[in-house]
Amino acid sequence: MSHLGNMPWKLPCALTVLALLSEISAQTQYKTLSNGASMPVVNLGFWQASCPSRMANTWLKNGNSGIDEAWVYRNQPRCAWGIEDSGVLRSNIFMTSKVWRMDGYVHARSQILETLFQLDMDYVDLMLIHWPQGPDMKGTWRAMEVLVNQGKIKNIGVSNFKKDDIDKLLSFATIKPVVNQIPYNIYEHDESLVEHCHSRGIAIESYSPLGTGQMGIIKNSQLQAIGKKYHKTAAQVAIKWIVQQGHLVAVLASSEKHQQEDVDMFSWSLTSSEMDEISRISSSTSLHSKKRVILGGLHHAV
């Protein structure tokens, strides 16, 4: 009976916790992957992040959970400082990282263990092969599968994989990839690759949803006109177009304002004719403004 006697005092506290939890789940919307795992729809990207520690801190403190890192971004330790300082429980964070290239079992295993050390984490939620480059896809994937079985990785996937790369991987994978992270925005969207992945149970995660901020998406007048109706910016409409198709997103947003805008995706919808209009933008825009070059293996918009 004594615990019942305490209840009136504990109730406000319990209600506060419940309110906080519902706030977190309202902010972080999840997608169920083909293996049943849940992944946040909007993830904060850290490629070329100006202040990784502050970014991660603000993101998590505001109730978001998805973080998109990579060994090659060379800022995982600084991201980890921000995570630790936020005080957010590990179980409320969805951590993605990427192993650079496909240089085989030993290379992949040591790089992933180094990533865990850099992040000061016992496991990552999602590990991707960053690029389908390198001589040993099979050994690299095997290293990831073994680390899944050892509890160091929860889910595995790929990035920048084309159709042939996907099918090669599936020919020997014991654990199937759940995600292919690819460039996907209003100017570059390979729908046949999307279809190929979906038919094999692989979700699409868009990277560079705003064209790295350099492809004119943020100032696109068609997106601005559509956004006006909903009191949203062109950037928000560009991300919403991706999210409304059911894709995951990794977006770089340094400021708290941009972070808040980029997760404000779930209380409004674009009409189907607006979705179609946005899908047609890429074919009506000159190739010049959307050209990308690959510098040091990483995409840059020019």
Residue 82: φ, ψ to 5°: -65, -40
Active-site residue, from 30, 73, 105, 184: 73
The reply on whether position 235 binds ligand NAP by CB under 6 A is yes
Tokens of 202: 């692989």
Q: Tell me, by CB under 6 A, how many residues bind ligand NAP.
A: 28
Contacts of 152 (CB under 8 A, 6+ apart): 112, 113, 116, 122, 123, 124
- Pick from 115, 160, 180, 220 the residue near ligand NAP by CB under 6 A: 160
The span of 17-25, 56-64, 162-170, 256-264 binding ligand NAP (CB under 6 A) equals 256-264
Q: In the complex, which residue's CB is closest to ligand NAP?
A: 45
The reply on whether position 252 binds ligand NAP by CB under 6 A is yes
- Give the integer Cα–Cα distance in Å for 215 and 152: 37
- Pick from 146, 148, 218, 275 the residue near ligand NAP by CB under 6 A: 218
Q: Which of residues 169-198 bind ligand NAP (CB under 6 A)?
A: 181
Closer residue to ligand NAP (CB): 21 or 157? 157
Contacts of 70 (CB under 8 A, 6+ apart): 46, 47, 76, 97, 98, 100, 128, 130
Q: Which residues pair with 136 in a beta bridge?
A: 103
Which of 5, 39, 74 minimizes the C-alpha distance to 247? 39
The mark string for 50-89 relative to ligand NAP (x by CB under 6 A, - otherwise) is: ------------------x---------------------
Told to judge if 73 belongs to the known catalytic residues of this protein, a careful annotator would answer: yes
- Pick from 93, 111, 233, 274 the residue near ligand NAP by CB under 6 A: 233
User: Is residue 210 packed enough to be buried (19+ CB in 10 Å), middle (13-18) or exposed (0-12)?
Assistant: buried
The reply on whether position 100 binds ligand NAP by CB under 6 A is no
Minimum CB separation of residue 254 from ligand NAP in Å reads 3
Q: How far is CA 267 from CA 143, 187, 247, 271, in A?
A: 41, 25, 17, 13
Tokens of 216: 């004119």
Q: How far is CA 20 from CA 13, 15, 24, in A?
A: 11, 8, 6
Closer residue to ligand NAP (CB): 118 or 208? 208
Return the residue matching tokens 């350099």. Answer: 214
Tokens of 286: 């000159």
Minimum CB separation of residue 147 from ligand NAP in Å reads 19
Tokens of 64: 């978001």
The span of 111-119, 208-216, 221-229, 274-282 binding ligand NAP (CB under 6 A) equals 208-216
Catalytic residues: 73
Q: Give the residues lining the site for ligand NAP (CB under 6 A).
A: 45-47, 68, 130, 159-160, 181, 207-213, 218, 233, 235, 250-255, 258, 261-262, 299
